[in-house]
Chains A and B, each alone.
Chain A
Amino acid sequence: MWKIRLTAALILALGVGFGWLVYDGQVNGTRPFRLGLDLSGGTQLVYRADLSAISEGDANESMAALRDTIERRVNLFGVSEPIVQTQHGGTFAGDPQERLIVELPGITDTQKAIELIGQTPVLEFRMLRSDQPIPATGISIDNVNEVFEMAAITGKHLASAQLQFDQSLGARPNDPVVALNFNSEGADIFAELTRNNVGKYFGIFLDGVPISIPVIREAIPGGTAVISGGFDANEAKELARNLNYGALPVPIELIGTQTVSGTLGAEAVERGITATLWGILAVVLFMIFWYRLPGIVAFLALSFYIVVILALFQWIPVTLTAAGIAAFILSVGMAVDANVLIFERMKEELRGGKDTADSIRDGFARAWLSIRDSNISSMITAIILFWFGTSLIKGFALVFGLGVLVSMLSSITISRTLLLALGVDAKSGILHFFFGSGIRN
């Protein structure tokens, strides 16, 4: 008996410990809850990367370069905790595409956010195919992939850019140009490319438009190329600055936005917390009213479940959305389901003539199968929803799945230990009432 009571005391202490950790993590900001954009306010932009000119093997690398560049650019503008990630999508619409998802917390002007990203230049290098005439610079080409082929060097090999004034022969004196300095890998690629393609035309494309198409006269070993596009000094300066922040190796196209204002987000958080508290209160009051002493045990088990799941939210960490909060409230309602099944079964065993401890043990053992089954079907839903999900639904599915799992464990282990630890005889005097339930006994 003392053993089970010790375990019970340990469980309660553990629960208090978890509760303190959650409180500490939030208040001291060491492990705060992570809020999704719909709660914190902010903008999400979804882009499709145009990889049509890139060979399949280079796709992953290009996407990684794309992500790094955008991330650098976003950080530069002082957005706190931005998330930039790549995603493979569109398969289920018969149009597989690589996507870039940019989340900007705190930025609630969609157009401004788009412009922030949009200033990132797309820098591409292409070789003119040998049978093609030299196209005009400064205007976009419709069938660009027929006229040009991609060069081995791309925008991701760019190390820096700077404004210079053209000193070469035949140029108008002091024409502003932009010098591109490649990184060491890029310098090697560029040297080999120029060595092998002497006499061919090399196209430098900015945002899809050919800016200059110089002829390669000789191998260039130094890792430097020059864009001379008839800019004025200011344009060249701005271009050099933008290129220094990073250039995208492939073009991107905006395919979705989502913006939630900070006030709406804050209101959702506030209402979410209120609803959670009242939901918990209603469930707890009902359990105590209906199941009395075991109801109080269910309340303790539920409290344990809540602190554990909140701790998990902080540690994993789970990005909480409004749908996630809904899933949490739903899981609170479902967490006591196992207790209901157990207590009902326990009462049957008591009525069948068993003593209290045996009734508790058998009640748990017999209810276990149906608890397990009911949770399996909910887990199935959670897993499929997670797969189905947009970020919104993923938030729901993750919280729901975690909730089902943790609540099942807490209700069968915690409730059982606590009930046994009470060590009382349900059939004696007043306790008969406390182990009864409902309106009649």
Chain B
Amino acid sequence: MIIVRYRNTFFAITGAIVFAALLSVAVFGLHLGTDFTGGALIQATYENGRPAPETLSQYLDTAGFSGYSLREANENDYILRAANLTSEQRGNLADTLSVGGESPAVINQLTEVGPVVGEELRNKAVIALALVLIAILFFIAFAFRKVSEPVSSWIYGLIALVTLGHDVLIPVGFYAVLGFFTGAQVDTLFITAVLTVLGYSVHDTIVVFDRVRENLRINQERGRREDFTEVAGRSLNQTLVRSVNTSLTTAMALTALFLLGPASTRDFSLTLLVGIIAGTYSSIFLATPLLVAVERWRAK
């Protein structure tokens, strides 16, 4: 089995990808969205073409906006992020954005989040992330509770966790790049995507590991001697098609959502897509090769 035999090559590739993801987070950073920081998020559409940003800024300054950011979106849209609006700013918003009637603006979306709500959501997101990790940890411990030789049960669990770390780092790193190019910010939907990836991708790894243990058991029952590398490689081979196909169907559905679906879930579907691909990759190219590497190392 090529993947198991040349595992060091694949470790190197995986390492490079993870490094790139970390680098992208370090360089581009992750920017918290209005959901978490509090403030106002406004999307305005200009049917007759949008005004120059300088003109719009002038009107915003006059209306008492400060520390805001403007970003062009779609063909005729502006996305404005600002501090919470005063009632006067809110009442005159359409006029302000229409730059004195020159370019009539339609407010398509206005979201205001108070500081307490933002802080609460931020804390809840951290707790949700921790809860999912703990729950999945227990789940892995449960799935691998039966001890088997030559690799003990907790090592399967540990490797599943390492794999999970990989599956989350890749979409996070990807999102940092996306944020740099499109201004995507970390919002509740992003957290949702990450949590969904966590729940979904752990499963591919478990399918492969289950097969490894099943083959080990069968060998033992039949008194057959087979090298662990061989068993692992054979198991990977047997489960390869289903690993790829289960992810492929999900990826197809997500691709349809990304290409054709509503604008509000576009970044979300893309993040999920990257996460699910990363999850499939890691269950094939990282999990089992790691298992073999650990067994080899312990055998020495």
- Interface-lining segment among B105-113, B170-178, B222-230, B291-299: B105-113
Cβ–Cβ contact B245 & A271, under 8 A: no
Instruction: Check if A406 is an interface residue, CB within 8 A of chain B.
Output: no
Instruction: Check if B161 is an interface residue, CB within 8 A of chain A.
Output: no
- Which chain B residues in 85-129 approach chain A with CB under 8 Å? 87, 90-91, 93, 106-114, 116-117, 119-121, 123-125, 127-128
Cβ–Cβ contact B139 & A329, under 8 A: no
Alpha-carbon gap, A188 to B65, bound state (A):
52
B146 → chain A closest CB, angstroms: 12
Per DSSP, chain B at the interface is helix
User: Which residues of chain A come closer than 8 Å to B125, judged between CB atoms?
Assistant: 388
Instruction: Check if B135 is an interface residue, CB within 8 A of chain A.
Output: yes
Alpha-carbon gap, A40 to B261, bound state (A):
16
Cβ–Cβ contact A377 & B117, under 8 A: no
Cβ–Cβ contact B257 & A329, under 8 A: yes
Cβ–Cβ contact B135 & A380, under 8 A: yes
User: Which residues of chain B come closer than 8 Å to A256, judged between CB atoms?
Assistant: 111-114, 117
Given contacts A258-B110, A340-B246, A380-B136, contact A323 B241 (CB under 8 A): no
Please tell me which one of the listed residues B109, B196, B260 contacts residue A264 in the complex, with CB atoms under 8 A apart: B109
- Which chain B residues in 179-232 approach chain A with CB under 8 Å? 188-189, 191-192, 195-196, 198-200, 202-203, 206-207, 210
Alpha-carbon gap, A48 to B262, bound state (A):
31
Most buried by B among A279, A379, A397: A279
Cβ–Cβ contact A259 & B107, under 8 A: yes
B contact residues, total (Cβ < 8 Å): 70
Cβ–Cβ contact B261 & A326, under 8 A: yes
Please tell me which one of the listed residues A278, A332, A377 contacts residue B200 in the complex, with CB atoms under 8 A apart: A377
Instruction: Check if A2 is an interface residue, CB within 8 A of chain B.
Output: no
A283 → chain B closest CB, angstroms: 5
Please tell me which one of the listed residues A255, A323, A325, A337 contacts residue B250 in the complex, with CB atoms under 8 A apart: A337
- Interface-lining segment among B15-23, B25-33, B56-64, B265-273: B265-273
If A92-B123, A290-B245 are given as contacts, then 17 extra A-B residue pairs at C-beta distance below 8 Å, sorted by A number, are A93-B123, A111-B87, A264-B43, A272-B262, A279-B257, A283-B249, A286-B252, A330-B257, A334-B200, A341-B242, A376-B139, A377-B136, A380-B136, A381-B198, A388-B125, A397-B192, A438-B241
Cβ–Cβ contact A110 & B110, under 8 A: yes
Please tell me which one of the listed residues A257, A283, A385 contacts residue B252 in the complex, with CB atoms under 8 A apart: A283
Alpha-carbon gap, A255 to B127, bound state (A):
23
Cβ–Cβ contact B263 & A268, under 8 A: yes
Given contacts A274-B260, A380-B132, contact A390 B253 (CB under 8 A): no
Most buried by A among B139, B188, B259: B188
